[in-house]
């Protein structure tokens, strides 16, 4: 079972920041939060991961709450190419289990 | 750099026929390897994962099997395909000590 809860879909205007929430209230102390996205008909693409601290890379920022029970993926300037299903995953072992994700629509 | 190869890209097979999908990884040693399936309009289902040669963990009981004959080779097989086996099959690898996984381009299987 996926250990995360995400809204099924979200809209964001092109050029604006897209903020995708994820709840993981049962996360354990040594479990990472990962984000992936899947563009239609392609394999998932790794975006970012974090344990406790906020993280930023060339694709996105990850904000993790202090109690680690939720996180937000931020795409700072969304483009039409960011239209995809975004998956938030929590795990520490070798299995990588995907939930249903959030379908993000970028509106022109 | 590391690359993952998965083939074929598309496959149409009759019900009851066998299946063999192969996945190979280059540029890394002792990766974790994964097979996923995505039915049309559905989510990604983990089928098998492997942390080493000959070590296979099955997540979903079904008529599929997996083998890892070499460190960087992962094979998905079936002796007799069912209509319900149709879907998008994805192979992935991750570093033994790393949290991120990298996916192949997938095989779109249609069982007719």
Please report the sign of the dihedral spanned by the C-alpha atoms of residue A102, residue A27, residue B90, residue B87: negative
- Residue B86 predicted with pLDDT over 80: yes
- Residue B107: the pLDDT is 96
Mean pLDDT (chain B, rounded): 92
More confident residue, B72 or A1: B72
Residue of B55, B71, B66, B54 lying closest to B91 (CA atoms)? B66
Question: In this structure, are residues A45 and A94 in contact, taking their beta carbons and an 8 Å threshold?
Answer: no
Q: What pLDDT score does B104 carry?
A: 93
Inter-chain residue contact A44 with B32, CB threshold 8 Å? no
For B51, which of A38, A94, A100 is closest by C-beta distance? Answer: A94
Pairwise pLDDT comparison (B49 vs A95), residue with the higher score: B49
pLDDT in tens, chain A (108 residues): 568 999 999 999 999 999 999 999 989 888 899 999 999 889 999 999 999 989 999 999 999 999 999 999 999 999 999 999 999 998 767 788 888 999 999 999
Residue A15 is given by DSSP the state T
Choose among B90, B100, B105: nearest Cβ to A49.
B100
| pLDDT value, residue A64 | 96
To 5 degrees, how large is the angle CA A1–CA A21–CA A50? 75
**Confidence (pLDDT) at A36:** 95
Q: Are B4 and B92 in contact (CB under 8 A)?
A: yes
Percentage of the residues of chain B whose pLDDT score is greater than 90 = 79
Rounded mean pLDDT of B63-76?
95
- pLDDT at B89 (0 to 100): 97
Nearest chain A Cα to B51, which residue? A94
Structure confidence at residue B18 (pLDDT): 97
Q: What's the pLDDT at A21?
A: 98
Helix (H), strand (E), coil (C) string for chain B: CCEEEEECCEEEECCCCCEEEEEEEECCCCCEEEEEEECCCCCEEEEEEEEECCEEEECCCCCEEEEEEECCEEEEEECCCCHHHCEEEEEEEECCCCCCCEECCCEEEEEC
Cα end-to-end distance, chain B, whole Å: 38
Q: Is the peptide bond before B8 cis (omega within 30 degrees of 0)?
A: yes
CB of B22 closer than 8 Å to CB of B68: no
Q: Are the beta carbons of A98 and B44 separated by less than 8 Å?
A: yes
If you average pLDDT over residues B44-65, what whole number do you get?
90
Quickly state the pLDDT bin for B103 (edges 50, 70, 90): very high
pLDDT score, position A68: 94
DSSP A17: P
The DSSP secondary-structure symbol of A46 reads: E
Residues 39-98 of B with CB under 8 A from A: 43-44, 46, 49, 51, 57, 59, 88, 90, 92, 94
Closest to B100 measured CA to CA, from B28, B12, B42: B28
Which of A50, A47, A27, A28 minimizes the C-alpha distance to A37?
A: A47
Judged by CB atoms closer than 8 Å, whether chains meet at A96 and B90 is answered as: no
Is residue A82 helix, strand or coil? Answer: helix
């Amino acid at each position: 079972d996926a250990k995360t809860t995400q809204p099924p879909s979200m809209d964001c205007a092109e050029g604006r920041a897209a903020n995708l929430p994820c709840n993981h209230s049962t996360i354990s102390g040594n479990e990472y939060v990962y984000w992936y996205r899947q563009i239609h008909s392609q394999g998932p693409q790794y975006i970012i991961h974090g344990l406790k601290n906020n993280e930023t890379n060339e694709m996105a920022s990850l904000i993790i709450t202090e109690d680690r029970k939720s996180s937000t993926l931020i795409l700072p300037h969304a483009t039409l190419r960011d239209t995809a299903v975004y998956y938030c995953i929590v795990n520490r072992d070798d299995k990588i289990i995907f939930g249903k994700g959030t379908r993000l629509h970028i509106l022109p | 750099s590391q690359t993952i190869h998965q083939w074929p890209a598309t496959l149409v097979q009759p019900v009851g026929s066998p299946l063999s999908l192969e996945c190979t990884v280059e540029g890394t040693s002792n990766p974790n390897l994964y097979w996923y399936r995505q039915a049309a309009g559905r989510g990604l289902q983990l089928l098998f994962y492997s942390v080493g040669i000959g070590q296979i963990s099955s997540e979903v009981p079904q008529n599929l099997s997996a083998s890892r004959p070499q460190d960087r080779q992962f094979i998905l097989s079936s002796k007799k395909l069912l209509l319900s086996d149709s879907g998008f099959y994805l192979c992935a690898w991750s570093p033994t000590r790393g949290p991120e996984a990298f996916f192949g381009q997938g095989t779109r299987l249609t069982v007719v």
